[in-house]
Amino acid sequence: MSEEKPHEMSHDLHHNLQVILQENQRLAEQLDPAAAAIIPLIQHANRVFVVGAGRTGLALKAAAMRLMHLGLTVFVVGETTTPAIAAGDLLLAGSGSGTTSTIVKAAEKAQAVGAQVVAISTTRESPLAALATQVVVLPAAQKQDHGGTISQQYAGSLFEQAVLLLTDAIFQTLWALDGTPAQELWKRHANLE
């Protein structure tokens, strides 16, 4: 690695932040209208389960936390206290490629018991999409798209960021519909930290 002076690094950092923000803005402008269909699915689900691998999984864990703040019963797949999914539940599954084996297996199990599946992906043509009640396509690069035509960022960064932003927008929409004051939501925030 070459060493740069602090003012040069500051310029590079600012430039890269602008690239990231611009890519997310373009993606938001191209958002799949089907994304709004997630709202009633979440509202009517008995329980919500989230599943994703790697950074996508971290973004979905953040979504689970916000949905819990709304008073929903939410579980993160893979945690030791996560119960069995059942009919009437919703699995919110994120995978850029739609081929991640653990995510596809979770969707298969959810569908087999009568739960609904929402897939957040970069494609409608995948094993995960085929299992989904609803597919939301985020027009982002997949992890192994190294050409830089969709995103200048490394691997699936744009997709992972978009999952976080989309699920935050879903939370904001649900919160507006719910109308519970922020002070009431805050009472559900973790207090054993």
Q: Which two tokens stand for residue 108?
A: 């298969």
3 is catalytic: no
If DSSP states are collapsed to H, E and C, what string results for 122-161?
CCCCCHHHHHCCEEEECCCCCCCCCCCCCCCCCCCHHHHH
Which amino acid is residue 134, in one-letter code? Q
Catalytic residue from among 29, 160, 184, 193: 160
Listed in sequence order, the residues at least 6 apart from 126 whose beta carbon sits closer than 8 Å to its beta carbon are 95, 97, 98, 99, 119
8 A C-beta contact, residue 45 and residue 88: yes
Contact predicate 155/183, CB 8 Å: no
Give the integer Cα–Cα distance in Å for 47 and 14. Answer: 41
| Residues identified as active-site | 160
